[in-house]
């Protein structure tokens, strides 16, 4: 029998080759660059430092404003992702200009290089950035045309005549729609205990296209509307109206009606997530309206959640619910709007756009789910609480409609739908204030036991 002898050098080289292969496989699975946030941080509109990276949020709040593009996103337990509160629904698009060089001669004014400068942000230093000069003492700022800004030495200025200075300032480029708007190349995951939320981040109290109203003496406020009409107050102040799209929801929720004490609750904000990968939700994604905390004030309406992905899975919660009116006189806010569009959905959690409680509960918002190649399903569900109705316009035979959970729906104009199901405790109501119902269904119309179509 022959014995095969292997040299120690060969064994060493083989081990090294195997180890190199294992390391290579590990490196392939690791992100090229990951940013883990463990302290509260804000990423503003023009901050692109984190775009294109893998984002991890844990045990802190990451605030992201405006459109940003990440490689992947993981919100761990104890982590929160949100956007800033914007009472008017927009956010300033501001550009920071650093170290603009200027030379000041005598008291002759120089014109700064950018227009629409926020003059209260101007900082003037010497060429070495070691001395900070004082506005009104060392220099003056003027704007003869209201657009351009000029800077000049004062007669008693400590800025040496004819010297070079550096000017730092912010430029207002305009305004952008506020909200959380993320484009993600890979996966988005919200772990158990993690949240993506925009609760109370929409229009301020009494503001927005569906703002609540005021009535009575003492005055009380109704709930705001968005996906559903806001609930009336105890003095019958009419609830705020519906607006926006159930297919592509991007609007903010509106603010509840004020009372004699103060404003109502703010509306929910807006969350838009577009990803080429999967969205895994075991935590919570929410855009709920805020409760009316001032005595007799109305609740804010729910905001918007719009998710586009390859696969949506998990067992968490997605909500855009109306805020409660202040008991017992304020009206509840209407539900917001949720849209989920994907190739495959195995999501086993809860999805709700209920109206908020109050003197009158707000109307159900809209939950729209569409799988690639299939009809979309539009659901009106008020969680078993009878409230104000929801006004809806539907004009596509590729949209199936389900009304349930004591939701009441009023058609806005003629309806063209695929299939229509009015489940138990669902109501389709023909309003005398609008045109008679004209319903065309390409599929079936089913009114289950306990469901109603009323004129």
**Whole-number Å distance between alpha carbons of 248 and 243:** 12
How confident is the model at residue 430, as a pLDDT? Answer: 83
The pTM of this model reads 0.83
Interval 257-277 mean pLDDT: 97
Interval 124-130 mean pLDDT: 95
Interval 2-19 mean pLDDT: 46
pLDDT bin (cut points 50, 70, 90) of residue 434 is low
pLDDT digits (tens, 9 = 90+) for 436-455: 778 999 999 999 999 999 88
DSSP per-residue codes, 170-186:
EEEEEEEE-SEEEEESS
How confident is the model at residue 92, as a pLDDT? Answer: 81
Interval 151-159 mean pLDDT: 96
| Residue 5 predicted with pLDDT over 70 | no
CB 228 within 8 A of CB 293: no
How confident is the model at residue 405, as a pLDDT? Answer: 97
Q: What are the phi and psi torsion angles at 137 (to 5°)?
A: -115, -55
Which of 11-15, 256-260, 336-340, 416-420 is the least confident region? 11-15
How confident is the model at residue 13, as a pLDDT? Answer: 43
pLDDT bin (cut points 50, 70, 90) of residue 34 is confident
How confident is the model at residue 253, as a pLDDT? Answer: 98
How confident is the model at residue 433, as a pLDDT? Answer: 61
Q: How many CB atoms lie within 10 A of CB 46?
A: 12
How many residues make up the chain in this entry? 455
């Amino acid at each position: 029998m022959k014995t095969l002898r292997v040299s120690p050098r060969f064994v060493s080289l083989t081990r090294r080759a195997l180890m190199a292969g294992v390391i290579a496989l590990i490196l392939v699975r690791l992100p090229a660059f990951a940013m883990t946030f463990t302290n509260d941080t804000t990423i503003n509109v023009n901050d692109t430092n984190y775009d294109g990276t893998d984002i991890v949020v844990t045990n802190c709040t990451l605030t992201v404003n405006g459109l940003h593009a990440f490689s992947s996103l993981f919100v761990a337990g104890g982590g929160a992702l949100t956007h800033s509160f914007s009472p008017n629904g927009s956010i300033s698009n501001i550009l920071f200009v650093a170290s603009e060089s200027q030379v000041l001669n005598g008291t002759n004014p120089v014109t700064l290089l950018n227009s629409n400068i926020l003059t209260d942000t101007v900082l003037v230093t010497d060429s070495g950035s070691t001395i900070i000069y004082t506005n009104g003492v060392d220099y003056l700022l003027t704007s003869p045309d209201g657009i351009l800004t000029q800077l000049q030495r004062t007669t008693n200025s400590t800025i040496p005549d004819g010297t070079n200075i550096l000017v730092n300032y912010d430029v207002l480029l305009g305004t952008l729609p506020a909200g959380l708007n993320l484009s993600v190349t890979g996966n988005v995951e919200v772990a158990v205990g993690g949240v993506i939320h925009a609760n109370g981040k929409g229009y301020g109290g009494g503001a927005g296209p569906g703002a609540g109203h005021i009535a009575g003496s003492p005055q009380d406020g109704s709930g705001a509307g968005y996906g559903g009409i806001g609930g009336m107050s105890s003095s019958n102040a009419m609830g705020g109206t519906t607006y926006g799209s159930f297919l592509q929801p991007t609007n903010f929720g509106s603010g509840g009606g004020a009372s004699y004490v103060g404003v109502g609750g703010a509306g929910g904000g807006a969350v838009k997530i577009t990803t080429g990968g999967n969205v895994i939700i075991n935590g919570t994604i929410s855009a709920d309206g805020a409760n009316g905390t001032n005595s007799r004030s109305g609740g804010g309406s729910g905001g918007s959640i719009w998710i586009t992905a390859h696969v949506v899975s998990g067992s968490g919660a997605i909500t855009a619910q109306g805020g409660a009116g202040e008991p017992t006189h304020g009206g509840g806010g209407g539900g917001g709007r949720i849209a989920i569009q994907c190739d495959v959905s195995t999501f086993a959690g809860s999805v709700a756009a209920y109206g908020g409680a109050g003197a009158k509960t707000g109307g159900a918002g809209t939950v729209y789910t569409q799988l690639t190649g299939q009809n979309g399903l539009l659901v009106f569900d008020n969680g078993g609480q009878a409230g104000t109705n929801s006004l809806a316009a539907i004009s596509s035979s590729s949209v199936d409609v389900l009304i349930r959970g004591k939701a009441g729906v009023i058609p806005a104009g003629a309806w063209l739908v695929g299939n229509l199901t009015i489940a138990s405790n669902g109501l389709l109501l023909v309003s005398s204030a609008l045109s008679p119902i004209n319903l065309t269904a390409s599929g079936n119309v089913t009114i289950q036991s306990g469901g109603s179509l009323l004129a």
